[in-house]
Amino acid sequence: MMISRVTLLGHKDHGKSTLIGSLLISTGSVTQERLNDAKKISQQLGRQFEPAYILDSFSEEREGEMTIDITRAQIKYKEHAFEFIDVPGHEELIKNMMSGASYADFALLLVSAKPDEGIRDQTKRHLFLAKMMGIRRIVIAVNKMDTVDYSEARFKEIRKELVAFLTKIGFQKKNLALVPISAYNAQNLIKLEEKMPWYRGEPLLDEIVSLSTKRRADKKGALRVILQGALEGTDMLSGKVIRGTLSAGEGILLPPRESRYTIKEVVVKGRHRKRATAGENLALTLAEPIDFEPRGQVICGLGDDLKATNRVNAILFATKKLGEGTKIKFNGSEISCSVKVDNIIDITSGDTRQGSEIEPLGAGNVTLDLSKVIVAEPFDKLQEMGRFVIYDNGGFAGIGIITS
C-alpha cells in the first residue's frame, strides 16, 4: 500500500520520540518482542517505561535521553499507512533533522504545553525549514497537556501564536490542525480524552489522516529527465524522469545546446520500452553523439524554453558561517559559487532585515554566481529542479531553494 511520510518537528524534549513510541503501541504497530526489549531497557536503566526507547536504539540515545539520529517507524491506521520520521530536536544535530525532513510528504510538530517549554526558536526553525523544503501541511500536537492540568487557555495561547507565525511564513490555515495531547499517557491519540471536553476536534491520528498527502510524480507535465551518468561498459545513459513522459523516437533538447537530439532507445528495469514516465529510472541512447559530461544535464521537450544560467536567486539556510570554497551540489554536480547576501530572514518572526552575513542556523535571500551554467527552475515550480545542498571546505553548510 502507499505510505505517506510524516516528519516530526519540534524542540528537543518536547516529546517527539515518546509520541511515535506511544502511537506504535496504541495502534499495535510494534511487535511484542520489540516492546518487551524497550521495557527491559527502561528497567535496566532504573527508569519508568519510556516509549521513546522503541525508536532511540543507540546506547547514547537511551542513556542520554535524546535522539541523535533519524529513524523511521510505520503505522497502519484505518486503512491508511504512515511512516513517521523521528528527528533530533537539538540545534547541533540539525543536519540529521534536515536529512529526515527532506523525505517527508507532510509534518507533525510537537510543542510542549509546559510553562517553561512552549514555543521556542528551535520550534520555529524547524517550521521554517519544513516550509523551505516544500512541506505544505502540518498537524500540530500540543503535548504534555497533563502538566498544565489540561488547560484550554494554555492550548489557545499556543495555538494563537503558532497560527500567526505559520501564516506569516506562508502556510495556509486550511492546511493546519492542532490537537492537545499527552504523548506519554496516550491521551487524544486515537480516542478523545474526557479530561479535555473543550477540545472539539478529532483524535491526533484522525487529524493526521484528514491532512495526509502524498507527493506524486506528474506524468502529464512538460518533460524533465535529469541524467545521472553513463552506464559503464555500455553506450547508454542513465537518468530519472522527474516529470512527464519520454518516448523512444522522440526529439528532445539538452539546454543550453540549441541542437535537437533524438531518443533512440528507452530501457526501464532491464527491458526495452516505448516510453518511460515520471518517477521511473531509465537508461537511454541518443541517435546523435554527445561531447559533454552527461551527469546533471536535463532533457526537455522540443519547443520548451528551459534555460541555463550561471546566476540564481535563492533562499539559503546555513548551518554555519560560510567559509572558503563554497560550492553547491545540484543534481549530482558540484559547482563552485560565490554567495552575495541580499537580506537576512529572521526565522523566528519571518521578517527580513538588512545584512550581509547569514548567522549559523539562520537564513537569507541570496544571489549565487556559479562557476558554470546550470539548468534550473524555481523550487515552487518543480522541486527537483530548484533545490541544492551547500558545502564549503569544512563540509556540509546548509541547503538552498531557487526562487528565480
Partner 1 sequence: MIQQDTKELEERAIFVMREAKTKFKNVAAMWSMGKDSTTMLALARKAFLGKVPFPVIHIDNGIDFPETYAFREELAKKWKLDLIVAKSEIKPELSGFACCGANKTVALKRVMEEHGIDALIVSIRRDEHGIRAKERYMSPRDKEFKWDYKNQPAEIWDDYSSKLDAKGHIRVHPLLDFNEIDIWQYVKKNKVPVNPLYFSRNGLRFRSLGCTHCTVALKSDAKNVDDIIKELESTETEERSGRSQDKEKMYTMEKLRALGYF
Closer residue to partner 1 (CB): 163 or 389: 389
Do residues 314 and 369 lie in contact, with contact meaning Cβ atoms separated by under 8 Å?
Answer: no
**Following DSSP, what letter does each residue of 301-338 receive, concatenated?**
ETT----EEEEEEEEEEESS---SS-EEEETTEEEEEE
Closer residue to partner 1 (CB): 99 or 309: 99
C-alpha Rg value of the chain to the nearest Å: 23
Is-cis flag, bond preceding 256, omega within 30?
A: yes
End-to-end alpha-carbon separation of the chain, Å?
Answer: 37
Tally Cβ neighbours within 10 Å of residue 380. 12
The Cα–Cα gap between 253 and 99 comes to 33
Closer residue to partner 1 (CB): 136 or 156: 136
Q: 287, 275, 297: which is closest to 220 by C-alpha?
A: 275
Closest contact distance (angstroms) between CB of 201 and partner 1 is 26
Closer residue to partner 1 (CB): 17 or 122: 17
Closer residue to partner 1 (CB): 20 or 158: 20
Closest contact distance (angstroms) between CB of 231 and partner 1 is 6
Dihedral sign computed on CA atoms, order 107, 113, 115, 116:
negative
Closer residue to partner 1 (CB): 41 or 145: 41
10 Å CB burial of residue 313 (0-12, 13-18, 19+) is: middle
Angstrom distances, CA of residue 144 to CA of 148, 150, 239, 297: 7, 9, 47, 50
Q: Which spans of this chain sit near partner 1 (rule: CB under 8 A)?
A: 1-3, 31-34, 41, 44, 54-55, 57-60, 68-74, 76, 81, 95-96, 98-99, 102, 228-229, 231-234, 236, 238, 240, 267, 269-270, 279-281, 283, 295, 329, 332, 384, 387, 389, 391, 396, 399
Name the DSSP class of 51: G
Tally Cβ neighbours within 10 Å of residue 328. 26
Closer residue to partner 1 (CB): 20 or 119: 20
Closest contact distance (angstroms) between CB of 77 and partner 1 is 11
Beta bridge partners of 74: 83
